[in-house]
């Protein structure tokens, strides 16, 4: 059985393979010592996605000037920076989908209000490191 990698091991691997990722913060949560890495999409990708979604939250569909970029497959679960892995959500929905991804392994899907299981996510949403 493979051991879980630490956040720094992933960062070293990204650097080794030349994957251009910007690590913005590492948060150590509670007593579980679980690390979550938040990696940014480019500002151009975020602005384009906002326009594509007509400045509406991808989940509740409300218009908002405070949309946040959300990784459908979280980086901590080997999600990619592929444009399709980005959805813009209002802060309330963003917290909801972060919780569902972390605890239920359910990811956002625009066509299914309850999301889809992580195991059913399209392959291009995952980071592929050979």
The full 3-state SS of 64-107, as one line of letters, equals CCCCEEEECCCHHHCECCCHHHEEEECHHHHHHHHHHHHHHCEE
Q: Is residue 117 part of a domain?
A: yes
Number of domains in the chain: 2
Q: For the whole model, what pTM was predicted?
A: 0.64
Q: Are residues 47 and 108 in the same domain?
A: yes
Provide the residue range defining the domain that includes 18: 1-40
pLDDT of 102 above 70: yes
Q: Are residues 34 and 53 in the same domain?
A: no
What's the pLDDT band for 81 if we cut at 50, 70, 90? confident
φ, ψ of residue 46 to 5 degrees: the values are -65, -45
């Amino acid at each position: 059985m493979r051991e879980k990698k630490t956040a720094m091991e992933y960062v070293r691997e990204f650097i080794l393979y030349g994957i251009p990722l910007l690590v913005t913060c590492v948060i150590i949560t509670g007593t579980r010592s679980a690390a979550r890495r938040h990696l940014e999409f480019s500002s151009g990708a975020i602005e384009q996605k906002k326009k594509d979604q007509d400045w509406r939250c991808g989940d509740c569909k409300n218009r908002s000037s405070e949309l946040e970029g959300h990784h459908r497959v979280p980086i901590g679960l080997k999600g990619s920076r592929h444009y399709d892995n980005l959805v813009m959500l209002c802060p309330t929905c963003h917290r909801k989908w972060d919780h569902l991804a972390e605890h239920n392994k359910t990811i956002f899907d625009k066509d299914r209000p309850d999301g889809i299981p992580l195991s059913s996510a399209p392959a291009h949403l995952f980071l592929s490191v050979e």
